[in-house]
Amino acid sequence: MQTESESMKQPPRAIILLSGGLDSATVLAMARDAGYACYALSVDYGQRHRAELDAAKGLANLLGAIEHRVAHLDLRVFGGSALTDNAIAVPESPTTGIPITYVPARNTLMLALALGYAEVVGAIDIFIGVNAVDYSGYPDCRPDFIEAFQTLARLATKVGVEGARLRIQAPIIGMSKAQIIQVGRALGVDYSMTVSCYQADTLGLACGRCDSCRLRAEGFADAGLADPTRYQHT
Amino acid sequence: MQTESESMKQPPRAIILLSGGLDSATVLAMARDAGYACYALSVDYGQRHRAELDAAKGLANLLGAIEHRVAHLDLRVFGGSALTDNAIAVPESPTTGIPITYVPARNTLMLALALGYAEVVGAIDIFIGVNAVDYSGYPDCRPDFIEAFQTLARLATKVGVEGARLRIQAPIIGMSKAQIIQVGRALGVDYSMTVSCYQADTLGLACGRCDSCRLRAEGFADAGLADPTRYQHT
């Protein structure tokens, strides 16, 4: 058995949902900077932009994650989104309302997977890189959603029932894209390694035209920094 | 476009989580009896008792589901349960507390998948066969958990944000196993087709010794009915 002083030396464990994009890479760097032992989780859900999974692997390594697991969950069984159904095109001009790139229940599923992983490795904190400012209008990126999931997590799990105060941490939820980039740059995130584009090619090169590319480019411009994104030559 | 009278003729759609066991088969029969067009969803999560997935297919057909989809989500990436980790044995005598057959975050994941499916097919109701009476002590089978998920569902989704009152229905949550069996029998459920055993063999034959087998056998005895379960000859 551990003595109290030994146990106090161990950093708390956290699960970090790591898509391979700019936001989640920044969140991983922030969690590590806050002293957590970081367990990174990516989800292969049949997404069109699969290069982000390769990016996640490199970022987990660069940013000091203890381990990186990839869960497989094929959301193409449902379709209904431009990101999981090849018959639906990714929009290349701004749209109003909730866009077709919304993947039904995606963040609920991601957090549920993180919750299972948290129980198995004994983590109390789960970090997710949702953002409610420069975002695409998805319902599952809002503070109300995060809070409701935290309530659920404490009721849903063995550790929660036993008294653990599970927390869903969304540290960039209120930041602008420019602020996120500035924080991450200061913590050593190499943004040339991140893939944000919804239709990145197999090398991870960005289209420069989709919603996600547009928000990202504006973020670098607003931050007054050169955009390190690797774009397709079209 | 549909006229109002045409649209009123269409039965409401519901997602039914169908494991292939006794409880969820009964719930499917109840939902259909209540007038729902039933979309059955099973989840292949790498469970030890894979025969239940074959059982689910037959039950969806028998009980009149409109369609049956199987989502693939390999929870063996986390392990931590006797149901997903072959290195952990299924207990064959009663245990206290939350048992090792508990799969971390399983019902949260199942409901999250059902939620995605609901959004895609336009269903407002999701049925789940959890039971808080003759159950195995899992935290994610309790009414508080179901209510918290319903709150989450309305915040998490495009349809919820647009005003749909998504409902998580758990119609057998307060029933004894004997009551469940009596309801299902009256609705035409053939329980010889259901697989409850945590370590059923590839033919779906039950061990007769695990927690799930014990609860099921007691249910038939309490209902005063012959037990149609197909047991292994050991």
**Statement: residue B91 has pLDDT above 60:** yes
Closest by Cβ to B116, choosing from A109, A144, A161: A109
Closest by Cβ to B120, choosing from A79, A115, A119: A79
CB-based contact A103 B116, cutoff 8 Å: yes
The more confident residue out of B97 and B106 is: B106
- Please report whether residue A42 resides in a domain: yes
| CA atoms of A126 and A113, how far apart (whole Å) | 10
- Please report whether residue A184 resides in a domain: yes
**Statement: residue B2 has pLDDT above 60:** no
- Please report whether residue A56 resides in a domain: yes
Which residue in chain A is spatially nearest to B105 when comparing CA positions? A116
Domain range enclosing B74: 11-223
Q: Are A95 and B139 in contact (CB under 8 A)?
A: no
The string of pLDDT tens digits covering residues B31-71 is: 999 999 999 999 998 777 778 899 999 999 999 999 999 99
Give the pLDDT score at B105.
86
Which residues of chain A have a Cβ shorter than 8 Å from any chain B Cβ? 69-75, 77-80, 98, 102-109, 112-113, 115-120, 139-140, 142, 144-145, 148-149, 151-153, 155-158, 160-161
Q: What mean pLDDT is reported for chain A?
A: 87
Confidence band for A99, pLDDT divided at 50, 70 and 90: low
Closest by Cβ to A108, choosing from B80, B107, B115: B115
Which residue in chain A is spatially nearest to B104 when comparing CA positions? A116
Interface with chain B: mutation pick from A113, A138, A150, highest number of B CBs within 10 Å: A113
- Please report whether residue B158 resides in a domain: yes
Q: Which residues contact B96 (CB under 8 A, 6 or more apart)?
A: none
- Residue B104, judged by CB atoms within 10 A of its CB (0-12, 13-18, 19+), counts as buried
- Please report whether residue B234 resides in a domain: no
Q: Which residues contact A148 (CB under 8 A, 6 or more apart)?
A: B148, B151, B152, B155, B156
- Please report whether residue A159 resides in a domain: yes
- Please report whether residue A228 resides in a domain: no
Question: Smallest Cα–Cα separation from A153: which of B173, B139, B113?
Answer: B139
A33-42, A175-184, B91-100, B132-141: least confidently modelled range: B91-100
Which residues of chain B have a Cβ shorter than 8 Å from any chain A Cβ? 69-75, 77-80, 98, 102-109, 112-113, 115-120, 139-140, 142, 144-145, 148-149, 151-153, 155-158, 160-161
pTM for the whole thing?
0.87
Closest by Cβ to B160, choosing from A77, A139, A151: A139
| CA atoms of A108 and B105, how far apart (whole Å) | 12
Give the pLDDT score at A210.
87
Residue with tokens 């809070």: A147
Give the pLDDT score at B180.
96
Residue A160's domain is classified under what CATH number? 3.40.50.620
**Statement: residue A56 has pLDDT above 90:** yes
Q: How many domains does chain A have?
A: 1
- Please report whether residue B71 resides in a domain: yes
